[in-house]
Amino acid sequence: MRRGSIVRITIYGVIAGVFASLVAVLVPWLPTSASEEMDRIEFTFWFTTVICIGIFAIVAAAIAYSVLKFRAADDDERDGPPIHGHTGLEIVWTAIPAVLVTAISVVSAVVLAKNDDVGENPLRIAVTAQQFAWKFEYPGADKVTSGSLVLPVDQGVKLTLRSLDVIHSFWVPEFGQKSDAVPGIETTLTITPTRVGSYSVVCTELCGLGHATMRAQVQVVSRADYEAFLEREASGGGEPAGDDGEAVFAAAGCGGCHAFAPAGTDAAVGPSLDEIEGDEGFIRESIVDPNAVLAQGYQGGVMPSTYDKSLTDEQLDALVQYLSDGQEGNE
């Protein structure tokens, strides 16, 4: 190959590489990292991206050079010369991809292994998923539960996930890690938060009509604030029933499907709770056996029938009272 051809191919390759690099750098492909696991995932992403940019530049340069150098004249209808093969070239284009794929595989395997290793004495939190809400139970004798996830910064966390109905999937984009919650099976997910802030849990498995509303808040706080949160939640039993009911309403994810003015929710997957017609007995029955009486225009089998198991009697009483008081306030 003549020197001029090599220079031309090099120029084409540089142009293609610069273009691909600009696309890779200027487009925000990944969310801002907020965990050690996401940092490793970002490294894997950019390691693979750099390799892909190099391959793209070489291939694009070869194609551009070939199109310009060997293009046929408009009146040339001859076939090109037959080429049997080139052993050296075939070895090169087999060996180089094999090395690159092996390198990507090794890096990915190391990252996966490290992301599954949360270290010694992790904070263990039980995560329960059901249509269309998340519930989080914290370790300790007080068995604190909440509808939002609160985590101490720079502390390894091991989440144990289970589902009460269908398959759900737990994902916080800024944490990078994702895992399914499967009925009858406990799965785990490790997270080490590194950035104080507020994030969102997203269900990434289509789980029913209210799938898009199945979200929860994650608060990453200092260790002192985390301990204060546990203490505050553990000592919250003396609050009035209405306040307890509001907490249960939020923790059970009722607002993900129902509109209810006192709670400030306006979802329309299920009937509006501002228009309930019935006494406390009817409200209770509608919670524990939602298919017994269906509101006009709504189908059965959407609302979970597991609240009599997932809620304690005290929580159920508080929720019924909260909904009933809300009706009186709307009159």
Cβ pair 252, 295 in contact under 8 A:
no
Superfamily of domain 237-330: Cytochrome c-like domain (1.10.760.10)
Which residues have C-beta within 8 Å of that of residue 178, sequence separation ≥ 6?
169, 170, 171, 189, 204
What tokens appear for 154 in the block? Answer: 């720079």
Cβ pair 170, 189 in contact under 8 A:
yes
pLDDT at site 328: 64
Domain boundaries, the chain: 3-70+85-116, 123-234, 237-330
Confidence of residue 239 (pLDDT cuts 50, 70, 90): very low
**CA gap 106, 101 in Å, rounded:** 9
Task: Give me the sign of the Cα torsion angle 85, 89, 95, 100.
Answer: negative
| Mean pLDDT along residues 242-255 | 74
Beta-bridge partners for 157 = 123, 191
Cβ pair 162, 185 in contact under 8 A:
yes
pLDDT at site 97: 92
73 residue type, one letter? A
| Mean pLDDT along residues 57-82 | 82
Beta-bridge partners for 161 = 127, 187
Q: What are the start-end ranges of the E strands in 232-329?
A: 259-260, 265-266
**CA gap 253, 214 in Å, rounded:** 8
**CA gap 178, 180 in Å, rounded:** 7
Closest CA to 190 of 41, 25, 7, 326: 41
pLDDT at site 183: 94
Q: Greater confidence, 17 or 241? A: 17
Cβ pair 222, 235 in contact under 8 A:
no
Q: What is the pLDDT of residues 136-178, one digit of tens each?
A: 999 886 778 888 899 999 999 999 999 988 999 999 999 999 9
Long-range contacts of 182-185 (CB under 8 A, 24+ apart): none
CATH of region 123-234: 2.60.40.420
- In this prediction the pTM is 0.72
pLDDT at site 155: 93
pLDDT at site 96: 92
pLDDT at site 240: 39
Q: What secondary structure letter does DSSP report for 185?
A: B
Cβ pair 201, 177 in contact under 8 A:
no
